[in-house]
Structure 1
Amino acid sequence: MNIKKLCLIALMIALSAVGASIKIPAVVDSVALDALPALLAAALFGVRAGAITGALGHLLSALIGGFPLGPMHILIALEMAVLVWIFGILYKKGKKILSGIVFITGNAFVAPIPFIFLMNKGFYAAIVPSLLIGSVINTVLALIIIPRLSSLTQHRPKKRDVHL
């Protein structure tokens, strides 16, 4: 990995920290706009960069919220990494709307399923609406912003010095 890409990933993680401060009202205080930079990173810099940003972004969001679910946030960070990875793969294949639908569905309805068994059905029912709102906002913003930023990340031919 080159220095430029490493710096861009660090920038996306920093933006996740900013997004983590923008909370969606929820039962737990870790639902926020931290996924937006992860989705951008997956589409612009690759699925690995997006997954790393997604996992660390969630952990930052949980940290800002006081880790309300304790060590279960590690599971959520792993789920976020997988969902962002899938989003990136689908987006790169040109299935932009499908990538958004899969991310929203996965983040809002599938990812919290383990908490039915770890906590109870009431927690699942309480968290899904705010996860759905947060997922839609993160994804819609990402789908709007990615095309506008993609021209900045495309490789341009370097100008060669011309000697007269």
Structure 2
Amino acid sequence: MQLKRLTLAAFFVALCVIGGLIKIPSGIGSLALDTVPALISAAFLPPVFSGIVGMLGHMASAMNSGFMLGPLHVLVALEMFVIVIVFARLHKAGRNLTKWIFFIVANGLIALLPFYFLISPAFFLGAVPFLLLATIVNAVVAAVVLPSLQHVVDGRMGALR
């Protein structure tokens, strides 16, 4: 069972890499659809695995963009790890509306807050609209795909939990 989870996690990381190639134009270059597969993985993997998918997906997207924020991407990857774990736990608990609100607020606003102090208030204020937009786009795409995909998988072979 552990090998199946690792394989499925690797599959979702690969999808994050592909999603990372689909860029959302912004002033902070690494915004992309790299989070969609991590959010979808919450239905099929334990929360920690989904968190790892989100973290690795972000790092792959950042690498593809040339690490615009330098080593600060490690902080963002850790934030993604925590955000996706909480999202996955909310999903497993059946808190459907709460998980989306949490994701949008945590990823679109709270995750950017350290950069207010680490880079500058101007960077924070300039990045918020772009990150919020990218977060909403990722959430909408995942919200549209997730129920259908989960229904198909549950109906055919059951989800890995």
Given the two structures, how large is their TM-score scaled by the length of structure 1? Answer: 0.90
1:42–1:48 contact (8 Å) kept in structure 2: no
Distance (Å, rounded) in 2 between the aligned partners of 1:156 and 1:122: 50
- 2:21 aligns with 21
- 1:81 aligns with 81
1:12-41 CA distances to partner (integer Å, 9 max, x unpaired)? 000000110111111211111100010011
Distance (Å, rounded) in 1 between the aligned partners of 2:120 and 2:43: 35
Aligned residue pairs total: 157
Distance (Å, rounded) in 1 between the aligned partners of 2:43 and 2:75: 23
Larger of the two Rg values belongs to structure: 1
Amino acid at match of 1:92: K
Amino acid at match of 1:5: R
For structure 2, the residue ranges without an aligned partner over 5 or more in a row are none
- 1:124 aligns with 124
Distance (Å, rounded) in 2 between the aligned partners of 1:60 and 1:21: 9
Distance (Å, rounded) in 2 between the aligned partners of 1:152 and 1:139: 20
Give how far 1:144 is off.
1.7
Equivalent positions of 1:40-79 (< 5 A) are 40-79=40-79
- Residue identity over aligned pairs, in percent, reads 41
For structure 1, the residue ranges without an aligned partner over 5 or more in a row are 158-164
Given the two structures, how large is their TM-score scaled by the length of structure 2? Answer: 0.91
Give how far 1:9 is off.
0.8
Please report the RMSD computed on the Cα atoms of aligned residues, expressed in angstroms.
1.6
Give how far 1:127 is off.
0.8
1:44–1:153 contact (8 Å) kept in structure 2: no
Distance (Å, rounded) in 2 between the aligned partners of 1:42 and 1:71: 27
Amino acid at match of 2:125: A
Give how far 1:2 is off.
2.4
Distance (Å, rounded) in 2 between the aligned partners of 1:130 and 1:148: 28
Equivalent positions of 1:98-113 (< 5 A) are 98-113=98-113
